[in-house]
Amino acid sequence: MAKGYQTAGDVLVNQTADGIDLNTVFAEIQSALSIWNSERSTIAGLLSFKTTTMGDSIPQGTTDSFEVASEFGVPHATSAPTALPLGYTFEDYDLRQAWTWKFARDATAAQLKALANTALDADNRLTTVSVLRRLFDPTQETNEVGVPCYGLWNNDGMVPPPALGKTFPGTTTHYLPTGSATLDSGDIEGLAKLVTDKNYGTTPGSKLLILANPTQGDLIQSWRAGEENANSQKSRWSFIPSAAAPPYLTQETLVGERAPEKWNGVEVAGSLGPMWLIQSNFIPAGYVAVVASSGMNAAGNVIGFREHANAAYRGLRLIPGNGPYPLVSSYLARGFGVGVRRRGAAAVAQCTTEGTYTAPVLSL
């Protein structure tokens, strides 16, 4: 039997104000986190794939060729292609939930779950912004074992591997200034060509996506084939609203199918030629990207989303605090890192009159 003075913290608070057992609430939040980790649909998922490795060595192509055979000679042997080590960073993040026994006594279960939803929103922002930072920022990093973690091709002297018979110079960059404060159709078409020239977004199961803030997305939705838009440009294609658009009248005939209302759980605004437009306020205003995506967390996506090798440390975790009830002073933890694996599978542009690209500042 415990001896000594009993404090206010020793009062047995075992249920919320509406009669729900605190352990039941804790179990429900844990269950919600399990669903969140397995089914979370965000732009980050369309850009990334999950991995537990610190880095990958990616073959960069070869220029070997056949030679005319001789009757007695021995042909030369094929040479192994060079490989580029591409790493993924890793950091641990956490957030604490804490309240007094009086709050736990007087709060309803809905209030406690609302706090959990706030944490889920913070996790969504953390992972999405981290992936978008890697997409829009060419700055090279190094992970904890010294493997370089790259952005897209950015005129860093490395030569992109040949694709479909095309070769590329070491000055190739997928980070472009538009030369104008207003986005035009030529900017988007140029980004798409950078990606498809390297054989991304052209194979079955892969889709070209335009990622834009609503500010730029509204401009894209106004473009029509053959009609002049910003900066005296004429679009090759007309924007076609997706199945999510409200009914409208038109005298034009649609050839082919409209873009779906959603793709992998993310809303699609419509299509511009072979590309689907996805709008999000997570995309910084004044920036736009064309990305080849194979779907949610698909292996063919551009960015690696690295998690811990130990499965127990993957995803968003709820760690119980001290005391008789695990919700009191509990912790939420997430460990992950990012790095580009396919440097040619996306291209981004900044709407600016400056002659150089400047990465956006994205806050977690």
Domain boundary assignment for the chain: 29-51+83-247+256-350
pTM above 0.95, yes or no: no
pLDDT score, position 41: 62
pLDDT score, position 65: 67
Task: For residue 53, give Cα distances in angstroms to 11, 210, 292, 306, 340.
Answer: 47, 29, 22, 7, 13
pLDDT score, position 301: 95
Task: For residue 312, give Cα distances in angstroms to 142, 319, 320.
Answer: 25, 12, 15
The helix (run of H) or strand (run of E) holding residue 32 is helix 22-39
Q: How many helices (H) and strands (E) does the chain have?
A: 6, 18
pLDDT score, position 12: 46
d(CA 231, CA 349): 16
pLDDT score, position 1: 42
d(CA 41, CA 48): 12
d(CA 210, CA 224): 16
Over its length of 364 residues, how does the chain's per-residue pLDDT go in tens digits? 444 433 334 334 566 566 667 667 667 766 766 665 554 568 899 999 999 999 887 765 455 667 788 777 777 666 555 678 899 999 999 988 777 667 767 777 777 777 777 788 888 889 999 999 999 999 999 999 999 999 999 999 889 988 888 999 999 999 999 999 999 999 999 999 999 999 999 988 899 999 999 999 999 999 999 999 999 999 999 999 997 776 665 666 665 678 899 999 889 999 999 999 999 988 999 999 999 999 999 999 999 999 999 999 998 887 876 655 555 667 889 999 999 999 999 999 999 999 999 999 998 7
d(CA 115, CA 131): 25
d(CA 361, CA 252): 42
